A = this chain, B = another copy of it.
Amino acid sequence: MSLEDNAFEITFLPDNVKVPAEVGETIMDIANRGHIHINASCGGEGVCGRCQIELRSGEVTASPGLYLSEEDFASGLRLACRAKASGPATFFIPIESRADASSFKKAAKAEEDLTVTERDPMVKRFDLELSPPDANDNLADLDRVLQALANEGLNDLDVELGTFKKAPQTLRDENFKVRASVYFEPSLVDPSRPAYSRLLSLSKAKLDETYYGLSVDVGTTSVWVRLVDLATNAPMPSIGDLNGQISYGEDVISRIVYASKGEGLKKLQSQVIATINGLLARLEETYPEFRENLLLITVAGNTTMSHLLVGVEPRYIRLSPYVPAVASWPSIRPSFLGLDVLSHTVMKIFPSVSSYVGGDIVSGVLASGLYKRPELTLFIDVGTNGEIVIGNEDWMTCAACSAGPAFEGGGVKCGMRAAPGAIEIFDYEPDVKRHHLGVIGRGKPIGICGSGLINIVAALYRAGVISKQGKYVDNSAPYLRSGEDGLEYVLSPASESAGDRDVVLTEIDIENLIRAKGAMFSGYQTLVEGVGLTMGDLERVIIAGGFGSSLNLDNAIEIGLLPNLPLERFSYIGNSSLTGATLAVMSGSMWRLAQDIRGRMTNFELSETPGYMDKYMASQFIPHTDASLFAR
């Protein structure tokens, strides 16, 4: 049977695009190949539930799951990232799962970059066939192992206490044929030799015994982990959860404030540790023995998250001159932090550039390839703390700007995080002055998430309902009314909402969004102009972070959040912080590269940079005071 015999097509409605497919491909992969955009903020891992599509005809291989009830499933709903083609089929993509497809033509899946060219893991394994001791050779157990490793050229090995405690039992259980796992601490000054080497574990020399690395992205809002089989460098699917610290404050500043009170630091540390431990417990369900064989963890997080994870005083991060306690993290034994891993596991934390440009950005730049490409690239992570990197293979500058919480639904009357019930999609028909809402999870609306806020403001601005100053101007708009905070636009009356209140957009909400987008934009401007270039010189814009995946490029440019560049220059890189951490867990040279990238990034403290405040003031307009910047 030839491949052709296998070929069939999947049809996507409402655009009626047909894409050739093969048995076993996910519908998401097929859609991507056909440039059909389906929302998937988790990058296709089946954990965000945002890629729901309706099976109209044909068959696919799929089952209900976390995000699909039996009823949903029976009604034809499928997750595009989980359903696998088994023959011709037709799907309808509902508005909630759709975005402006043209915006994402160049969107890169994070997974595509999860390959390392060099095979140089920080942990290597050595299979040792030792002769059992006898009367003529009663060398001690550990010494026997160390002698065999010395024969492999490994001297002066540090040995983990837990490992040599277990050595007599392991050696005898395995009849003196064991596998030694040795960690090589990368030297930052001499790539030809490790800073030190440590025997982490002795285990069975079974051929099928694997060993693991774990990459962790500790975000202010959520924590993601990915297990990697280091024997084959095969990454497992990532899984995530909300950072348990979230009930102690939504942004880094409120966490720092909490940490400086009484037992606050200890409490925040134990929260994030508990979050990671929960994820480890979930991994254990699929990989029951991974803990024993988990040797290395890499962590990327912003500067504050790294401090809280390790339990280091973050207070000076928010006090001028904004000095973190640690930027280059020494290797740590995570079991001492309370992580449910064995004592031999080594943890490496990505270095920060500054108090507000953290290891997550260094990791993201590593994942993006910005540092090694000739094109002038803007790398941004949009959020309460927005991070900006501009540069190429020759130079990099970076800055953080305090955008405020609007992008995460904060400071917005009906704001909420991008969770089920959040209005994300908003279509406005100017002729009939009517709108259509797309709600995450397809239920009744509860509030507005950050990307929804951008889409709503862009559509209402385009329709002339909102002015350049961010005020409501079309008094004839039927959903406009006077509320307690001035004029407000009723998106969904209480009767049609999940909560018992109207979901509205106030002028204050718009003002907060303008402040936030202006802070980001004036940040890019300051960095670009700081090196004598203009916005038009940017050849590539990489949007990182969970927020980016649901961003409608046209709308983000419309309101002045993103620079006015041809859409094909934009790409979305997903959770680049986790991706970079995954690359480093697989490769010592990737880890050293991260240190190198961090050293090459010149940090600007925007608040101390002349001209920034003027640029910020000029940005407080839709899209900008300088209309030429956004002429299309």
Contact = CB atoms under 8 A, between A and B. Distances in A.
Interface in A345-393: 352, 354-355
Contacts of A4: none
Contact of A133 (B134, B310, B321, B336): B321
A313 B168 contact: yes
A138 B332 contact: no
**Max chain B Cβ within 10 angstroms of own Cβ: one of A135, A143, A158, A189:** A143
A159 B310 CA distance: 13
Contacts of A156: 185, 187-190, 195-196
Interface string A309-343: 01111011000111111111011110010000000
A330 B146 CA distance: 11
Given A165-B313, A310-B165, A133 B328 contact: no
Given A140-B326, A164-B312, A312-B164, A158 B331 contact: yes
A332 B160 CA distance: 8
A155 B190 CA distance: 10
A263 to B, nearest CB: 15
A139 interface: yes
A195 B189 CA distance: 15
B143 A336 contact: no
A257 interface: no
A69 interface: no
Given A310-B161, A321-B135, A143 B326 contact: yes
Contacts of A322: 138
**Max chain B Cβ within 10 angstroms of own Cβ: one of A155, A157, A312:** A312
A323 to B, nearest CB: 5
Contacts of A605: 135, 138
Interface residues of A, number: 54
Interface in A180-216: 185, 187-190, 195-196
B140 A324 contact: yes
Contact of A161 (B134, B196, B336): B336
A476 to B, nearest CB: 52
A534 interface: no
Contacts of A159: 330
A608 interface: yes
B328 A143 contact: yes
B187 A140 contact: no
A613 interface: no
Given A140-B352, A312-B164, A134 B328 contact: no
A321 to B, nearest CB: 4
A169 interface: yes
A140 B327 contact: yes
A146 B320 CA distance: 22
A316 B605 CA distance: 62
Interface in A142-188: 142-143, 146, 155-159, 161, 164-165, 167-169, 185, 187-188
A229 interface: no
10 closest residue pairs by CB, A with B: A196-B196, A156-B195, A140-B327, A159-B330, A140-B324, A155-B189, A142-B326, A138-B321, A168-B325, A133-B323
Interface of A: 133-135, 137-143, 146, 155-159, 161, 164-165, 167-169, 185, 187-190, 195-196, 310-313, 315-316, 320-328, 330-333, 336, 352, 354-355, 605, 608
Given A137-B321, A142-B325, A156-B185, 15 more contacts: A135-B608, A138-B322, A139-B327, A140-B352, A141-B316, A141-B325, A155-B187, A156-B187, A158-B330, A161-B310, A161-B333, A164-B325, A165-B311, A167-B326, A168-B312
